[in-house]
């Protein structure tokens, strides 16, 4: 093997020896799921439905027909002022996405106890750039919702077998 070939193969050999593995789609112990407790227009529920459909999980409307029921106990987007000027103008905001949920069977057997996921992001604010800041806020909320959905999927894959 030439020196160049050895140099190119080194990162692959190093990563294979350290236990590094690319993230795979989670394997769930159930084939159908019902989502309950989410607001009808919840952006978090929409992202969750999209990700669950991508892993070929059957989403059902009737919890009695599902193998598992994911119940949202709290689903909220929050925004608070963290800093303001002496004139009362907002200078910094804190954005939060909160999801409190549990997983159970339709019969009521608890598979995952109530758990809360909370993500926060700080964002500077300038009134002269209000439109740009509104778009930045929307992007931050979307990124936080994607992160929460990924965490929910990891927790669902850790649920005990039915």
In the chain, what are the domain boundaries?
A: 29-157
Q: Give the percent of the chain with pLDDT over 90.
A: 73
The domain made up of 29-157 has a fold known as Double Stranded RNA Binding Domain (3.30.160)
DSSP annotation of 31 reads S
Q: What is the pLDDT of residue 150?
A: 94
> By the 8 A CB rule, do 57 and 35 touch?
no
User: Who has greater pLDDT, 48 or 10?
Assistant: 48
Q: How far apart are CA 117 and CA 115, in angstroms?
A: 7
CA distances from 111 to 72, 86, 93, 137, 161 (A): 14, 51, 37, 35, 9
CA distances from 109 to 39, 116, 156 (A): 24, 19, 15
Tokens of 86: 């002496």
Range with the lowest mean pLDDT among 26-30, 56-60, 128-132, 141-145? 26-30
Q: How far apart are CA 39 and CA 19, in angstroms?
A: 41
> By the 8 A CB rule, do 133 and 90 touch?
no
For the segment 130-139, the average pLDDT, to the nearest whole number, is 96
Largest CA distance in the chain: 70
CA distances from 28 to 41, 61, 95, 117, 126 (A): 26, 19, 31, 20, 45
Neighbouring C-beta atoms of residue 142, cutoff 10 Å: 13
Reading phi first (left if > 0) and then psi (alpha if -120 to 50, else beta), residue 140 is in alpha
């Amino acid at each position: 093997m030439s020196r160049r070939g050895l140099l190119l193969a080194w990162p692959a050999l190093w990563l294979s020896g350290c236990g590094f593995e690319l993230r795979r789609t989670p394997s769930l112990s159930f084939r159908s799921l019902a989502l309950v407790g989410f607001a009808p227009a919840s952006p978090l529920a929409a992202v969750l439905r999209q990700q669950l459909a991508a892993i070929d999980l059957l989403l059902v409307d009737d919890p009695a027909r599902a193998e598992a029921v994911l119940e949202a106990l709290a689903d909220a987007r929050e925004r608070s002022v963290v800093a303001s000027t002496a004139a009362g103008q907002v200078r910094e905001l804190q954005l939060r996405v909160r999801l409190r949920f549990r997983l159970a069977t339709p019969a009521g057997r608890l598979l995952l106890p109530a758990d809360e996921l909370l993500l926060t992001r700080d964002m500077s604010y300038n009134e002269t750039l209000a439109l740009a800041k509104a778009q930045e806020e929307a992007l931050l909320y979307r990124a936080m919702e994607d992160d929460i959905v990924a965490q929910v999927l990891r927790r669902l894959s850790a649920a005990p077998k039915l």
